[in-house]
Structure 1
Amino acid sequence: MFKDNKVWIGKSDKRIYLEPKMANRHGLVAGATGTGKTITLKVMAESFSEMGVPVFLSDIKGDLASLASPGTDNENMQERIKRLEIDNFTYKSSPVQFWDIYGENGLPLRTTISEMGPILLSRILDLNDTQSGILNIVFRVADENGLLLLDLKDLRSMVQYVGDNAKELTLKYGNITTQSVGAILRSLMVLEDQGGNFFFGEPELDFNDWMKVAGDGRGYINILHSSKLFLNPALYSTFLLWMLSELFENLPEEGDLEQPKMVFFFDEAHLLFDNAPKVLLNKIEQVVRLIRSKGVGVYFVTQNPRDLPDEILGQLGNRIQHALRAYTPADRKKVVTAAETFRTNPAFDTVQAITELETGEALISCLDEKGSPCIVERGFILPPQSKFGTIDDYLRKQIITSSPLYYKYDKEIDRESAYEMLIKRNEREMEELKLQKERLELEKIKAKEAKELEKLRNKKSNRLTPVERVTNSAMSAIGREIGRSLMRGVLGSLRR
């Protein structure tokens, strides 16, 4: 809830706030399953939206979509509202936009192969140096020949083209081996099988459409439907790597703002870092370190702080810790580690408190106006103003089709690009080969006919009798003599 120009998160014996100007110093929401992390995320997303800050979040379980529907009153809600002394509490929905790489439960989310570029693609496909070099050649050949690389079929056809013409291209660009070309095609096949053909294409996403504000001044909450996406790690890593790279490269430096330009939430972040490619981990670390100056806040929601790499965990200034369970010595160590990250409050034992927190209760420590961590407070998180649970397909579809961006992104555009142009080029080459073959066949036929005619003449000559041959020879001789006599007569007349 946005109150007193601050994000009101929870309440102990006093209200606990997150300072808007410190919201771009990133944050962490942690806790065991069922302790209230999702509710905390929703409360924070609603608050940022109300503050006029656009939000992006990944919805893995489908329960964040209910931000689009107002909550309903009940006895438990009334008890929580009264306990936290919330005045004028209202149930309301937030302005949302649904996105889905597969285009099933949200607006399609796409980018082009050219926009991704050979360097990022090489990293996400886990290509070695030789294979990466060949992929660079593929992009260079496409560029020099005016062949647009928009989707996966464009890239696949270009790789095949380079492989088929390796002998000629090697002299200009360097060695191109069949083995490396095959390895690239296999990696592309894995990405395609996981849905890469949905992600690569046009129209590509304009990030400005994620940073819009609704007519009432509230920031849009962009919800990426991720339940299917998380099952395809290669595609999810590709999407994240592209998104983080684009944000980092295209957003201008802003310095310290009174409130962030945008806030990102990554729910179930432990799934994000499990078996993630090293290049993705490096990119996330880079973005977390440096994107603060671009006015963007990044918040990770996970079960345990230890789920995040230390390099990233150290950059998260605003922390909300829900209950952790300590059933084993290993669990106990995790609890102690989590407690040690907070600035101690002498009023309670932080380690003990983490294991005793009720559902909806948390240890909260945010940065103050000077950027210093506040002492940890034990308090209850505010209830969300939106609905608990999920929404039905009818409401989701209604929100999607009524979005002002629906007609911009709904229909895929498949304009002429490398795939189609190479097909036409192959068709022209096949036609030329066909014509050349027909010309050769015709020349063979003519040569054969000439040979047959010569044979016929020779055969006819061989069938003459000796008298006919002597007569023909004599007639030829007489004809030549008559011709010479006539010529001498003409020349004599001229002399006279």
Structure 2
Amino acid sequence: MSNTSIFLDHITKGYQTKGDFITLGSAMLDGNTIKNAFVKIPLKTMNRHGLIAGATGTGKTKTLQVLAENLSNKGIPVLLMDIKGDLSGLAQPSPGHVKITERHEAIGLPFEAQGFPVEILSLSEQKGVRLRATVSEFGPVLLSRILDLSDTQSGVIAVIFKYCDDHKLPLLDIKDFKKILQYATNEGKEEFEAEYGRISSASTGAILRKIVEIEQQGGDLFFGEKSFEVEDLLRKTRDGKGYINIIRLTDIQDRPKLFSTFMLSLLAEIYETLPEQGDADKPELVLFIDEAHLIFNQASKALLNQIESIVKLIRSKGVGLYFVTQNPTDVPEGVLSQLGLKIQHALRAFTAKDRKAIKLAAQNYPDTDYYDTAEILTALGTGEALISALDEKGRPTPLAATMMRAPMSRMDILTSNELQALLDDSKLVLKYNETIDRASAYELLNDKIDKAEAAKVIADAKAEKEKEATKERKANSRTTRRRSTAQNPIIKVLTSATFIRSVFGILKKMI
């Protein structure tokens, strides 16, 4: 038996599956594609998370596109973070190309051009379904971790939330939260101290500065109503295809605070909303986080711990998380160790640091007799990748250098007219794009302060009136006494000029 036949048997057995699966491509040996050596990923393991890594231009985005398409066809909804703005083409079928045909002939898969059900979402003022969440939905613990607060400051946040709960003050947007922080150390200082103890103005000032930082990155657009409901990410078409939800993030690449804030709130909301699923035949939802380093680069230790906890726990809800980045080292080890599927496109070794990173990346993959992993990582062409997955029993599959299949949809963006037509047909745009600003903590506290100030003005006016009345009574009393004295006949005689002259005349005679 030839080496190629042995390798084909090795791959076929390693990627054999009884359940439903996704075919990513066909395995390669010595730089040649082995036809029908299919690399198949069981749907049952798609909630075990994954990584798509590789240098710029090696095909990461197309791999993401292939996974999203096949998941949609299997009835699994998908959420994509579109940082570069090149994923909207999923809504239109591929125009085809001779190189695509050649690739699929080498793989042994027929090529079928196809468009997919797409929903365009937005965190900012870009066109799309508006994504929002209220401050209350974050809760004090998550909000404290996002803001990277100290224990003392976190305690202040907890007190603020408790006060708002006790006094039925909705915390919806940033201006609500800023107002209650100011109120706690100014107009409402005595009230807070009486109920919850003293709150330091230094602590509220530090928290306020962190809030302003998020506000400057666009948080004022994200925090508010109407809150996006997780159930709307789980929609399917009438023919059973899962919707591909694309979040347009091209304008927040330089706003990592907002990006990480949104991601954590979304993951926390998904975890709280979805029921425990256990070992199901396929996931309920799969999320792809492109440019994942934006989350991790500026994350605090508390924030990283929160992300790691969610990654560990959320798979039990039937949710798969897939991080897309240039180098595996962009993802913390605690998260990387939880990832079942690894798709590694080529890495470039231009510097000593690059070569060291490649050696570290190679150590993340199972040993194999067929490849020098570190060497092949630099030799892979565009649209080729090293793949390591889990089989149906959770065991690592053989490492396979793979010729990836081409996307069935357009590998380009939608035109302005196509995008507008997509949004015009969206039911979610009608549901979420109306701005709601109902009476919440900001308005209610302002009303409370206005009433208190009005009451003070009335009280001061009343006190002033009483003071004037008292003065008037005293003045009237003195006048009355003077009049009474002047009208007394005895006093009149004693104080008359004749009487006084008589008294003085008698005194002179006596002298």
TM-score, structure 2 as length reference = 0.86
Of 365, 381, 387, 1:342 maps to: 365
Give ranges in structure 1 of 5+ residues lacking alignment: 474-496
What letter matches 2:55 in structure 1?
A: A
Q: Identify which of 371, 375, 399 aligns with 2:394.
A: 371
CA–CA separation in structure 1 for the residues paired with 2:306 and 2:253 = 19
Cα distance between partner residues in 1 of 2:385 and 2:488: 125
Written as runs of structure 1 = structure 2, the 5 A alignment for 1:97-496 is 97-164=119-186, 165-454=188-477, 469=492
User: Which residue identity is paired with 2:169?
Assistant: L
Pair 1:270–1:184, CA change in 2 (3 A)? closer
Aligned 8 A contact 2:19 2:281 in 1: no
Q: Counterpart amino acid of 1:159?
A: L
Cα deviations across residues 244-299 of structure 1 (Å, max 9, x unaligned)?
22223332221111111111111112232112122221122122222222211111
Aligned-pair distance for 1:213? 0.8
Contact 2:24 2:41 in 1 (8 A): yes
Q: Does the 8 Å contact 1:244/1:283 carry over to 2?
A: no
The number of residue pairs the alignment matches comes to 470
Q: How many percent of aligned residue pairs carry the same amino acid? A: 43
> Post-superposition shift, 1:334?
2.1
Moved more, 444-453 or 340-349: 444-453
Counterparts in 2 of 1:25 and 1:466: CA distance versus 1, 3 Å = closer
Contact 1:49 1:218 in 2 (8 A): yes
Aligned twin of 1:79: 102
Say whether the 8 Å CA contact 2:48–2:340 is kept in structure 1.
Answer: yes
Conservation of the 8 A alpha-carbon contact between 2:172 and 2:440: yes
Change (3 A) 1:438 1:340: closer
Q: What corresponds to 2:25 in structure 1?
A: 10
Amino acid at match of 2:386: L
Contact 1:342 1:375 (8 Å CA) reproduced: no
Question: Which segments of 5 or more consecutive residues in structure 2 lack a partner in the other structure?
Answer: 1-17, 28-33, 497-511
SS at match of 1:440: helix
* Deviation digits for residues 441-486 of structure 1 (CA, Å, limit 9, x no counterpart): 3334434444554565567678889899459x9xxxxxxxxxxxxx
Q: Do the aligned residues in 1 keep the contact of 2:19 with 2:43 (CA within 8 Å)?
A: no
**Residues 22 and 43, structure 2, Cα contact 8 Å, conserved in 1:** yes
**Deviation of the 1:229 alpha carbon:** 2.7
Pair 1:26-2:39 in alignment: no
Structure 1 residues 273-282 or 73-82, which shifts more?
73-82
Structure 1 length-normalised TM: 0.88
Q: 1:141 to 1:461 in 2, by over 3 A?
A: same
Equivalent residues of 1:103, 1:109 under 8 A apart: no
